[in-house]
Structure 1
C-alpha cells in the first residue's frame, strides 16, 4: 500500500475515475472484487471506491495477489502503454514479411486479431496510410532495391515484389517515383557508373 508522502487517496481516485494518463507509472490501483490491478489511465469499467486499493508500484500489487490487467498492461516496464500500437506494429511486420505474396486485408486483419474495417480505420488514423497503401510502399521500395542492385528487368522485378499485373506495377511505381521502372533502373546505373 502507499506511504504517507505519496498522493492522497482522493487525488488517486480522481485520476482513476477520469482515466488520467498523467499519473501512469506514479501509482496503480487494484480492484478487490476482480483481483486485477491497473494503470490510472485504464479504460475499463470504473470500480466502486470501497473495492479499490492503491499501490506505488506493480510489484507490490502482485505481491498482494493481484494480477495485471490485460487491457492496460501495468506489468510492462513502460510508463505508458498503448494497446493499439501492437496492432500497428504487427500489421507492418506482417506486410513487410509477406509483401511478395498475394496478401489481402482480410488475411492481415485475421493475423492481428481485428476486423478488416477496424484495421483499415485504425491503421490510417495512426500512419496516414491504409494497409494497402503501406503494402504498395513496401513493394515499391523493394522494387527500387532490385532495380538498382540486380540484373533483373522491370517485368521480373514487378512479379518478384508481388504484382500480378505488370501494368499495376508500372502505374504504382510511376505514382511513387515519377519514373517508369526502366527509367529508374537506367538512372540507377548512371549513378553507379559516374
Structure 2
C-alpha cells in the first residue's frame, strides 16, 4: 500500500526519502528511488517497497536512471560504453543530446565526464572515429571520396574533404594516392 506521504515524495522527487522506501511501477516492471527524475507514473500502478530486495523478489528490475540497487557504473566503464556507442553508430547522425539520453544523464555531465576520462570530447571522438574509418576505406576501396564521406557520416563531400584535411594534413585524394603508391612500391629490402 502506498501512503500519501510516499506518493508526495515520489511526485516531488524528494531525495530525503531515498533509502527509506523504494517504489515499483507494475506497468514497466521497474523500481526506483523516490528522488528519481523519471516521469511520474500513475498512482494506481505504483507499489512501495521497504527494500530493494523486496522489489527484486517481486520481479522488478532496478531503474537505469536512478540506480536504486546502489550499483553505479564507474566513470571509466561509462565512458567506454559511450565510446562503444560512438564506434558502433559513427555513420549515423549522432548528437550529444542523443548520447546523453541513451545514458540517462544531462549532455553537460556526459560531455564533461567523457572528456575527463578520454581526453577528448564526445564530438571530437566521433570525428576521430569517422576519420579512421575513412582512412581505412581510402586505403582499401575504390569508392569515390563522396561515397566514403557519406559512408562514414559526413555526407557533404566538401565538408568531408575539409574535415579530413584538417585532421590528416592532406586531402582524402592525396591520402589515397600516397597510400596506393606505398602499396605499389611494396616492402623495401
Q: TM-score, normalised by structure 1?
A: 0.58
- Which structure 1 segments of 5+ residues have no match? 1-32, 35-68, 73-81
Instruction: Give the distance between the partners of 2:78 and 2:104, measured in 1 at CA.
Output: 8
Q: What is the Cα deviation at residue 111 of structure 1?
A: 1.2
Q: What is the Cα deviation at residue 164 of structure 1?
A: 2.8
Cα deviation, 1:2-42, whole Å, max 9, x if unaligned, reads xxxxxxxxxxxxxxxxxxxxxxxxxxxxxxx98xxxxxxxx
SS at match of 1:174: helix
1:162 aligns to 2:145 (yes or no): no
1:94 aligns to 2:89 (yes or no): no
1:110 aligns to 2:101 (yes or no): yes
Cα deviation, 1:115-169, whole Å, max 9, x if unaligned, reads 1111111111111211000000000000000000001121111111001322221
Which aligned segments of 4 or more residues in structure 1 are displaced greater than 4 angstroms? none
Structure 2 partner of 1:70 = 70
2:114 corresponds, among 116, 123, 135, to 123
Equivalent residue pairs, number: 122
Structure 2 partner of 1:84 = 75
1:184 aligns to 2:183 (yes or no): no
- Which structure 2 segments of 5+ residues have no match? 1-18, 21-68
Instruction: Give the distance between the partners of 1:168 and 1:129, measured in 2 at CA.
Output: 21
1:152 aligns to 2:159 (yes or no): no
Q: TM-score, normalised by structure 2?
A: 0.59
2:123 corresponds, among 123, 128, 132, to 132
SS at match of 2:78: helix
